Amino acid sequence: MDVRRFAQVFGIVYLLVGVVGFFVTGFDNFAGSQGDTLILFDLNPLHNIVHLAVGGLWLYSSRSEETARSVTLLIGAVYAVVGVLGLFVTGDNGANILALNQADNLLHLVTAALALYVALAGRRRAVTA
């Protein structure tokens, strides 16, 4: 997949998840470790804001290939760290300010793998003689 298209699609998806998340959570319990559930994923308003920011950044970056690649690589790396850390910081824990659960962690790791693949795979160029 083209990195610009990936950034557009994932940007729109993350923006939609952020907006829909507010219909689920409202604005209560802003950074609570226990959130409301959307399908299998726990959310709180802070988590929704993160989705909006990530979606907006991804969508904005899709305007150029270089920017889309850099932002996709950055988001992929951050989501990899968040996914791994989330394996240790879930549930009713004061450090869990995004109300992460195991389904969130798995989704973050899958998103990270896809983003890193798309960002790095496009760098391979055919050598012309």
pLDDT digits (tens, 9 = 90+) for 25-36: 889 888 777 788
Q: Identify whether 95 is part of a domain.
A: yes
Instruction: State the pTM of this model.
Output: 0.87
- Taking alpha carbons only, the member of 20, 18, 14, 105 closest to residue 62 is 14
pLDDT on residue 29: 84
**8 Å CB contact between 90 and 105:** yes
- Taking alpha carbons only, the member of 5, 2, 6 closest to residue 122 is 2
SS3 42: strand
Number of domains in the chain: 1
Q: Identify whether 87 is part of a domain.
A: yes
Instruction: Supply the range of the domain harboring residue 15.
Output: 3-121
pLDDT on residue 126: 47
Q: Identify whether 129 is part of a domain.
A: no
Q: Identify whether 126 is part of a domain.
A: no
Q: Identify whether 81 is part of a domain.
A: yes
Q: Which residues of the chain have pLDDT under 70?
A: 90-93, 122-129
pLDDT on residue 96: 77
**Running DSSP on this structure, what letter comes out for residue 127?**
P
